[in-house]
Amino acid sequence: MISDTANRPRSQYALLRERRFAPFFWTQFAGAFNDNVFKNAFVVFVTFGAANAAGLEAGTIVNLIGAVFILPFLLFSATSGQIADKYEKARLIRLVKLLEIAIAIVGLVGFGIASVPVLFAALALLGVHSTLFGPIKYAILPQCLAERELTGGNGLVEAATFVAILLGTIAGGVVVAIEGAGPLAAGALTIAVAVAGWLGSRAIPATARAAPNLVVNWNPVSETWRNLAIARENRVVWRSMLAISWFWFYGAIYLAQLPAFTQQVLHGNAHVFTLLLALFSIGIGVGSLLCERLSAHDVEPGLVPFGALGLTAFAVDLWLATRVESGGATLGATAFVASPGHWRVAADIVLLGIFGGFYTVPLYALIQARSPASHRSRIIAANNILNALFIVASAGVAIGLLAAGLSVPELFLAVGAMNALFAAYLFASVPEFPARTLALLRRRRRRDAAAIHGEG
């Protein structure tokens, strides 16, 4: 239920004190954290011994982990979108969180008996869990928040998601590496977090059912096609979906190549990689949280061109900053930070994250605001399918360009150039985006002028 005070401009942080938002916020934070605890614990587990015990090649298993987790998004997103539209979302969240507890128990068993197949089963089920939760996560916000709160609410969720990914990735690797008891400790941690998420979900207020008379179509192919057709009826919604999926393509290449970039180009160790991952996550968080202030509490697509410009500009600068890198001893995080030559690289990583926040948060808010309420979850589910396809495509493109002889910095440069081409297509096909950017700049100029005259 949205109160009358919700329509008054307030800081987004006030939402963290309100029951209509706070329990959902912490529930989704726990879910994102837990996914990454398990995934990285699994990666470390197989890399340092479990694969050899099972007679398998560790590199093959590590590559399969990402594929197995994302496969359910392709198979079940259409169904999960229908379920989220048909049934009450707060109750669905509680059921999904109970499923997460059961999956975490399967994971604990897998770690306990050092069974790679059991761990893969738990991972696939976690993918199903995330697929079920995804449409609810974004479709519930417009039911809990006023339109003037959507940008701030999405900013909080986006910032929290990337912080949860970072913390979960670090926690999974650290806990599973504990001598002797690490695997069991990692499994126990996922159960504890899943229980905490379920307890938080019990306080989420009930919402209205968007389409209670919907008859679920269990055919994922025909339903996906139908949902994409519904989304395409609104040009802005459809282009926003493509733009979000493009960002996942862009970001997936950067995140996938970041370990090699750290090792081969910057000559850093695992701690430097963690530092760069933290800087990118912090940048996304800062950019996401700034969107509310920059948009003056509106759903403001005018921020998207700013984001696109930064994603290209700092990709180019990152390439320029690494052209002078040469061989040398492997650096730890302290030595890396102590070198002024690396500050530019660190700044580029942070700024890529900040402008990524400017790019994605308004797009999510725009889809939520302009999708019909009766089909909102299904449209978001279709967007999740597009995201998954773009992520898969990003792996193929990266493999192809690297095989063609590009270095990792040159790959980043190429992706930045592709981003400029996609942005040109996006803004030509939806003139509202650049038009709103100009209007935003004019408003900012008028406010600055008024402030100067007021001081005078």
Mean local confidence (pLDDT), 34-53:
78
Q: What is the pTM of this model?
A: 0.85
Report the alpha-carbon distance of residue 351 to residue 307 in Å, rounded.
Answer: 10
Domain endpoint, select from 225, 260, 290: 225
Mean local confidence (pLDDT), 29-46:
91
* 274 and 147 fall within a common domain: no
pLDDT at residue 55, rounded to an integer: 54
* 192 and 258 fall within a common domain: no
* 162 and 244 fall within a common domain: no
* 254 and 152 fall within a common domain: no
Report the alpha-carbon distance of residue 351 to residue 284 in Å, rounded.
Answer: 8
* 242 and 196 fall within a common domain: no
Helix 303-321 × helix 343-370 angle, to 10°:
160
328: in domain: yes
Helix (H, G, I), strand (E, B) or coil at 318: helix
| Other beta carbons less than 10 A from residue 243's beta carbon | 26
* 193 and 276 fall within a common domain: no
SS (H, E, C) 312-357: HHHHHHHHHHCCCCCCCCCECHHHHHHCHHHHHHHHHHHHHHHHHH
Which tokens hold the place of 448?
């600055």
pLDDT tens track for 392-442: 899 889 889 988 999 999 999 999 999 999 999 999 999 999 999 898 888
What's the DSSP call for residue 29? H
Please tell me which residue, 1 or 187, carries the higher pLDDT value.
187
379: in domain: no
pLDDT tens track for 106-153: 999 999 998 889 999 999 999 999 999 999 998 999 999 988 899 899
Where is average pLDDT lowest: 14-28, 124-138, 277-291, 442-456? 442-456
- Domain membership of residue 350 as a residue range: 235-370+404-456
Q: How confident is the model at residue 449 (pLDDT cuts 50, 70, 90)?
A: low
Mean model confidence pLDDT for the chain: 88
pLDDT tens track for 53-64: 455 565 567 667
378: in domain: no
Torsional sign, CA 441, 442, 443, 446 = positive
Contact 97, 343 (CB under 8 A): no
Gyration radius of the chain over CA positions: 22
Q: How many domains does the chain divide into?
A: 2
Contact 121, 110 (CB under 8 A): yes
Mean local confidence (pLDDT), 26-51:
86
Report the alpha-carbon distance of residue 242 to residue 235 in Å, rounded.
Answer: 11
pLDDT tens track for 300-317: 888 999 999 999 999 999
* 265 and 317 fall within a common domain: yes
Q: What is the CATH number of the domain that holds 242?
A: 1.20.1250
Task: Tell me how far apart the 2 most distant CA atoms of the chain are, in Å.
Answer: 77
391: in domain: no
Helix (H, G, I), strand (E, B) or coil at 62: helix
pLDDT at residue 444, rounded to an integer: 72
Contact 156, 15 (CB under 8 A): yes
* 150 and 287 fall within a common domain: no
DSSP assignment string, 351-419:
HHHHHHHHHHHHHHHHHHHHS-GGGHHHHHHHHHHHHHHHHHHHHHHHHHHHHTT--HHHHHHHHHHHH
* 198 and 250 fall within a common domain: no
Report the alpha-carbon distance of residue 243 to residue 363 in Å, rounded.
Answer: 8
pLDDT tens track for 347-378: 999 999 999 999 999 999 999 988 888 889 99
395: in domain: no
Domain endpoint, select from 166, 190, 225: 225
* 111 and 251 fall within a common domain: no
240: in domain: yes
Report the alpha-carbon distance of residue 395 to residue 303 in Å, rounded.
Answer: 28
* 195 and 271 fall within a common domain: no
Domain endpoint, select from 225, 256, 274: 225
CA–CA distances in Å: residue 74 to residues 38, 40, 63, 139, 232: 21, 22, 18, 19, 19
* Nearest in space to 134 (alpha carbons), one of 365, 391, 387: 387
Contact 265, 331 (CB under 8 A): no
79: in domain: yes
pLDDT tens track for 68-102: 888 898 888 989 999 999 999 999 999 999 999 99
Angle at CA 359, nearest 5°, toward 355 and 364?
145
Q: What is the CATH number of the domain that holds 60?
A: 1.20.1250.20
φ, ψ for residue 329, nearest 5 deg: -70, 155
* 246 and 113 fall within a common domain: no
116: in domain: yes
